[in-house]
Amino acid sequence: MSQTLQQKYETVIGLEVHLQLSTRTKIFCGCANVFGRDPNTQTCPVCLGLPGTLPVLNKMALEYALKIAMALDCRINPVIKFDRKNYYYPDLPKGYQISQYDKPVAYDGHLWMTTADGQARKINIKRAHLEEDAGKLIHDDRSNSSLVDYNRTGTPLMEIVSEPDLRSPQEAYDYLQALKLTLEYLHVSDCDMEKGSLRCDANVSIREAGAKTFGTKTELKNMNSFKAVRAALEFEEKRQREVVSSGGRIIQETRLWSEEKWTTITMRSKEEAHDYRYFPEPDLVPFEIDEALIEEVRRSIPELPRQKFERFVGEYGLSEYDARIIVADQHIAHFFEACAKLYADTKKICNWLNGPLLQEINGRKLAPRDVKIKPEDLVAIIRKVDENVLSNLSAKEALKQVLDTGKDAAAVIRDAGLAQVSDSSALEGIVDELIREHQSVVAQIREGKPSAVGFLIGQAMRKSQGKANPRMIGEIIRRKLSNKSEA
Amino acid sequence: MKLNELTAHELLDLLKAKKTTPREIRDAVLAGIARTDGQVKAYVRLRSKASGEQEPSGDVSMPIPIGIKDNICVTGEPTTCCSRILEGFKPPYDATVIQKLKGSGAQIIGSTNMDEFAFGSSTENSCYGPTRNPWDRDRVPGGSSGGSAAAVAGHEAIWALGSDTGGSIRQPASFCGVVGLKPTYGRVSRYGLIAFASSLDQIGPITKDVEDSALLLGIIAGYDERDSTSADLPVPDYTKALVNDVKGLKIGIPGEYFVEGIDPQVREAIDVAINVLETRGATFHEISLPHTGYATATYYIVATAEASSNLARYDGVQYGLRRQPLDTRKTPLIDMYEETRDAGLGSEAKRRIMLGTYSLSSGYYDDYYLKGLKVRTLIKQDFDKAFLKLDAIVTPTAPTTAFKIGEKSDDPLSMYLSDIYTISANLSGIPAISIPCGFSRDRLPIGLQILAKPFDEAMLFRVAYAYEQSTPWHKERAPV
């Protein structure tokens, strides 16, 4: 049944992402824009909305918004205007939120993303606008009362609204990853869903495959990870298909995702939806965006993930697979490029980066930017392998120790005695011992079973604690055994 | 003459000549309050002498006692807009105008009465009760800055600050026989002025004569980085405009302001005033401001819409009044909002919040608020066009003299018409001044309104000063 429903209905998804901008101060006052301080310590009369106070636009927030607009290839409104969105809630001290209604900073943009099957896909961005964040309600069970923390009030937010271009929960997930990556490259936000600096609501509807018009949508809220977004969408997609295929109708409503119950539940229907009574914010004069500002911001935009990806494939000959992994973190990308300046074999750098180095980083639960290793060190280790000074195993050990100690690679290799034993007399002694200990294997080799040589090499590595040069060991074994057979 | 009956510039001369001290002036004003305020009720509270605050010395430039309308924030002093909902609210900051006044050495005497949140034209809509007109205690002082105008007219302050959203400085100045100026929108910072309608509000001086008005505007005017709507323009020395010469000035008389509803005695006084200026060498021209008839309707759409949003913050959560019903039903939060706002806001405030909420609602926005904005633009264009050929325009300030207390309180529409001549200056942002221009037969003051181009307050002072110097009205004192 689910197979037929899968084919019969197409899912249509649009996402609204709220991004907290990491400006030094809040959007309309001079309070520090910081997370995690004691409640109500980062406030002033303006962000508390005390009577008589007035907002003043933070220029940095506007610059960050323009950066995002440009990175998403949006058109930019030449005049920035704000509007009031009126509603009552205790975390909203003025009884309205300063937002943008009919003239967002940015509109008509797009983002390129890669689908799970490796296809590039363009997702259109409907609009992106600036607004202020609200405070936070904290429920106190002991006193059965609610407390308000206004530290977050006035944090600059950019709301980025996609067109309903996404066709599956997985695609929505991939879009979020791509969007987050682009935003990370811009250095405009922490992009940390756990801290709430990136939040996402989803609009989802289904329609018969091939239909031109949209079905009735529901809005999903309360997802606190990308995985939760995907899970909520999967649940909702299934729910809507079941409703429609059993002859029911979808009701336009807002539904909350419950992580504990793994379900979505009705929050409010269309009839209960707020009338926000938007009107132009009279306390802020329209702000003209001149060419000089646009140029200044344009110059501050770094190379973005997609451009970097294309350049790495073109300039360094990386496979798309490798390039995608490396570009997925700007620190790794930067590290790769620094290594590539020192060492020509970029495939080998990729193998080390995407293999042992990323494993170590993930194993330590570190963010790549917190990892203490210089490009010179990784390149030095790779070179030592090339020169047969390090075995692959020793090289991995050297890498690990560089990360542990912060020492440079040469010092680690020297101090830990990781250099390979290439001294043939020492190696010959090891091989002689092995020939004595493994007569049956020796016999197999003599019978022309070359894989048995591998076994002996392995044993030699073990005896030398990984320091023996495996290629030399192999040569010695073959020489000795062929000598003997001739003898 | 007592010190409190003098103007600020006269007192500054005495101070300069060391014939008095700031302390003596203050004491005279406090004595005036003690004598008069029991009947007039211009003040809602006198300022508690903040501990550690310095006695004004001879070093400061203008240690003049001043009354402050109760919607302008003074650090640590209750500031309530004469509304129960702001009961106990003490701002932790000074309005920019207060900072500037303190810098000039001003002696802040107390907070003056007003219509709640400046909603009204009679100072009857105050949670503290009405203020009475010093010229006739049975009559209103006008509003909403009625307390400030009455304090100045009753010698309970040397001068005062008011705020003007649709005439709230000029109409009470007219009713109380004093000078009231609404500066150009953006001339004076609104930071710390508790908002009624943000796109219309301006703080301005209420004084005994034109020279004082120029002096006080000089103190409070100027760009403020905390108010994005304040204009980044230099502030001229307004006293230089007091040249007592209007020769060759072209002044307009809009026909639309002299139609039905105007009290014949007011009309006569204005005609005489025009005559005076004409003899001083100004030329007068009949003009038309064709959209004048839409001003009141437009104003009540735009102003109430903004007010409905500006007053949303009084929700009982952070400060001011909070009422939590004992019988908490299923919705304790909404119950708290409703009880608090019901108990805290007066009926005119509720009426305006409902009007404004309605005109911003989806489905009505285009027909009301948006249309209001369009008509506002037309009204502004009327003035732009007129001022291409004119230096100033004169009109009555109000269609009548002060009315009786209670006379219009049950009839909001006729109350709204009290501002019919003053509203257009707010809608178009231009500066306007009201100066005394005579008395009715029952000895009630009449006001002449002068309007000029944006940021040309100097022209207002020039015309007003020349008129004042040719007439005795500003010397008249209310019988206190």
* Nearest by CB: B228 against A53, A57, A95: A57
Which of chain A's residues have a Cβ under 8 Å away from the Cβ of B92? 45, 50
The answer to whether the CB atoms of A95 and B191 lie below 8 A apart is no
* B378 falls within a domain: no
Q: Same domain, yes or no, for B321 and B413?
A: no
* B276 falls within a domain: no
Of B72, B309, B341, which to mutate for an interface test with A (greatest number of A Cβ within 10 Å)?
Answer: B309
Which residue would you say has higher pLDDT here, A386 or B12?
B12
- Cβ under 8 Å to B: A residues 68-87: 84, 86
Whether the predicted pLDDT of A366 surpasses 90: no
Which of chain B's residues have a Cβ under 8 Å away from the Cβ of A57? 228
Whether the predicted pLDDT of A362 surpasses 90: no
Each residue's pLDDT tens digit, B309-333: 999 999 999 999 999 887 766 788 9
The pLDDT confidence band at residue A487, using thresholds 50, 70 and 90, is: very low
Range of the domain at B82: 3-49+57-251+388-475
* B379 falls within a domain: no
Distance CA B342, CA B347 (A): 9
A12: β partners: A205
- As given in the structure block, the two tokens for residue B442 are 């029952």
The answer to whether the CB atoms of A279 and B93 lie below 8 A apart is no
Residues 6+ apart with CB under 8 A from B456: B184, B431
- As given in the structure block, the two tokens for residue B43 are 């003040």
Is-contact A346 A375, C-beta < 8 A? no
The pLDDT confidence band at residue A420, using thresholds 50, 70 and 90, is: low
Nearest residue of chain B to residue A93 (CA atoms): B313
B331 interfaces chain A, CB cutoff of 8 Å: no
Each residue's pLDDT tens digit, B162-178: 999 999 999 999 999 99
Distance CA A51, CA B311 (A): 9
Q: Same domain, yes or no, for B65 and B190?
A: yes
Nearest residue of chain B to residue A149 (CA atoms): B318
Distance CA B320, CA A95 (A): 15
CA of B329, closest CA in chain A: separation in Å?
15
What pLDDT, on a 0 to 100 scale, did the predictor assign at position A124?
98
What pLDDT, on a 0 to 100 scale, did the predictor assign at position A486?
42
B309 interfaces chain A, CB cutoff of 8 Å: yes
**Domain final residue, candidates B316, B339, B373:** B373
A311 CB-contact burial (10 Å; exposed 0-12 / middle 13-18 / buried 19+): middle
The pLDDT confidence band at residue B52, using thresholds 50, 70 and 90, is: very low
What pLDDT, on a 0 to 100 scale, did the predictor assign at position B415?
84
Residues 6+ apart with CB under 8 A from B371: B301
State how far the alpha carbon of B431 is from the alpha carbons of A223, B181, B185, in Å.
53, 8, 7
Mean pLDDT across the stretch A322-346?
Answer: 93
Nearest residue of chain B to residue A147 (CA atoms): B317
Distance CA B147, CA A373 (A): 73
* B256 falls within a domain: no
Query: Domains in chain A and their CATH numbers?
Result: 2-296 (no CATH), 302-415 (no CATH), 424-486 (1.10.10.410)
A314 interfaces chain B, CB cutoff of 8 Å: no
The answer to whether the CB atoms of A51 and B86 lie below 8 A apart is yes
End-to-end CA distance of chain B: 13
Name the DSSP class of B77: S
Backbone angles phi, psi at B362, to 5 degrees: -65, 135
Q: Same domain, yes or no, for B369 and B392?
A: no
Q: Same domain, yes or no, for B341 and B426?
A: no
Of B98, B360, B366, which to mutate for an interface test with A (greatest number of A Cβ within 10 Å)?
Answer: B360
DSSP state letters, A363-386: HTT--GGG----HHHHHHHHHHHH
Q: Same domain, yes or no, for B194 and B326?
A: no
Q: Same domain, yes or no, for B204 and B353?
A: no
* B480 falls within a domain: no
Half-sphere exposure of A324 (CA within 13 A, CB side): 12
* Nearest by CB: B227 against A49, A54, A95: A54
- Per DSSP, the three-state class of A88 is coil
Is-contact B76 B50, C-beta < 8 A? yes
A370 CB-contact burial (10 Å; exposed 0-12 / middle 13-18 / buried 19+): exposed
Is-contact B69 B114, C-beta < 8 A? yes
What phi-psi label fits residue B194: left (phi over 0), alpha (psi between -120 and 50 degrees) or beta?
Answer: beta
Residues 6+ apart with CB under 8 A from B76: B50, B90, B91, B92
Say which residue the tokens 């306007």 belong to: B432
**Domain final residue, candidates B373, B398, B429:** B373
Interstrand relation of A75-76 and A253-258 (parallel, antiparallel or unpaired): unpaired
Q: Same domain, yes or no, for B421 and B311?
A: no
So which residues of B are the catalytic ones? 69, 144, 168
Name the DSSP class of B54: P
* B415 falls within a domain: yes
Distance CA B101, CA B103 (A): 5
Q: Same domain, yes or no, for B212 and B76?
A: yes
Is-contact A480 A431, C-beta < 8 A? yes
User: CATH code at B150?
Assistant: 3.90.1300.10
A40 interfaces chain B, CB cutoff of 8 Å: no
Which of chain A's residues have a Cβ under 8 Å away from the Cβ of B311? 95
Of A77-86, A473-482, B237-246, B347-356, which gets the smallest average pLDDT? A473-482
- Assembly ipTM: 0.95
State how far the alpha carbon of B170 is from the alpha carbons of B141, B145, B425, B448, in Å.
11, 9, 11, 9
Each residue's pLDDT tens digit, A169-219: 999 999 999 999 999 999 999 999 988 999 999 999 999 988 999 999 999
Distance CA B397, CA B448 (A): 5
B457 interfaces chain A, CB cutoff of 8 Å: no
Q: Same domain, yes or no, for B134 and B212?
A: yes
Each residue's pLDDT tens digit, A436-462: 888 888 888 888 787 788 888 888 888
* Nearest by CB: A86 against B195, B229, B312: B312
* B219 falls within a domain: yes
Say which residue the tokens 């890498």 belong to: A399
The answer to whether the CB atoms of B309 and A90 lie below 8 A apart is no
Model confidence, pTM: 0.90
Distance CA A112, CA A116 (A): 13
B360 interfaces chain A, CB cutoff of 8 Å: yes
Of B97, B318, B328, which to mutate for an interface test with A (greatest number of A Cβ within 10 Å)?
Answer: B318
Distance CA A56, CA B450 (A): 33
Interstrand relation of B43-46 and B107-112 (parallel, antiparallel or unpaired): antiparallel
A57 interfaces chain B, CB cutoff of 8 Å: yes
Mean pLDDT across the stretch B300-305?
Answer: 97
- Torsion B158-B164-B168-B170 (CA) sign: positive
**Domain final residue, candidates B340, B373, B406:** B373
Each residue's pLDDT tens digit, B189-201: 999 999 999 999 9
- As given in the structure block, the two tokens for residue B304 are 């109430």
Cis peptide before B61 (omega within 30 of 0): no
Whether the predicted pLDDT of B53 surpasses 60: no
Q: How many helices (H) and strands (E) does chain A have?
A: 17, 16
The pLDDT confidence band at residue B364, using thresholds 50, 70 and 90, is: very high
- As given in the structure block, the two tokens for residue B463 are 């015309």
Q: Same domain, yes or no, for B113 and B228?
A: yes
Distance CA A62, CA B399 (A): 48
For A208-213, the CB contacts below 8 A with 24+ separation are A208/A8, A208/A9, A208/A10, A209/A7, A209/A8, A209/A9, A209/A10, A210/A10, A211/A10
B91 interfaces chain A, CB cutoff of 8 Å: yes
Mean model confidence pLDDT for chain A: 90
The answer to whether the CB atoms of A284 and B319 lie below 8 A apart is no
* B200 falls within a domain: yes
The pLDDT confidence band at residue B417, using thresholds 50, 70 and 90, is: confident
Which of chain B's residues have a Cβ under 8 Å away from the Cβ of A56? 225-228
Which of chain A's residues have a Cβ under 8 Å away from the Cβ of B199? 282
Is-contact A88 B337, C-beta < 8 A? yes
Of A222-226, A476-480, B296-300, B397-401, which gets the smallest average pLDDT? A476-480
Which of chain B's residues have a Cβ under 8 Å away from the Cβ of A270? none
Distance CA B23, CA B39 (A): 25
Distance CA B315, CA A158 (A): 27
Distance CA B70, CA B92 (A): 15
What pLDDT, on a 0 to 100 scale, did the predictor assign at position B56?
55
Of B191, B301, B314, B355, which to mutate for an interface test with A (greatest number of A Cβ within 10 Å)?
Answer: B191
Distance CA B430, CA B28 (A): 36
A223: β partners: A200
The pLDDT confidence band at residue B241, using thresholds 50, 70 and 90, is: very high
Q: Same domain, yes or no, for B322 and B361?
A: yes
Nearest residue of chain B to residue A146 (CA atoms): B333
Is-contact B314 B341, C-beta < 8 A? yes
Whether the predicted pLDDT of B267 surpasses 90: yes
Distance CA A53, CA A55 (A): 7
Q: Same domain, yes or no, for B26 and B162?
A: yes
What pLDDT, on a 0 to 100 scale, did the predictor assign at position A462?
82
B225 interfaces chain A, CB cutoff of 8 Å: yes
Interstrand relation of A9-20 and A198-208 (parallel, antiparallel or unpaired): antiparallel
Q: How many structural domains is chain B composed of? A: 2
Mean pLDDT across the stretch B464-471?
Answer: 98
Interstrand relation of B250-254 and B283-287 (parallel, antiparallel or unpaired): parallel
* Nearest by CB: B194 against A52, A279, A284: A52
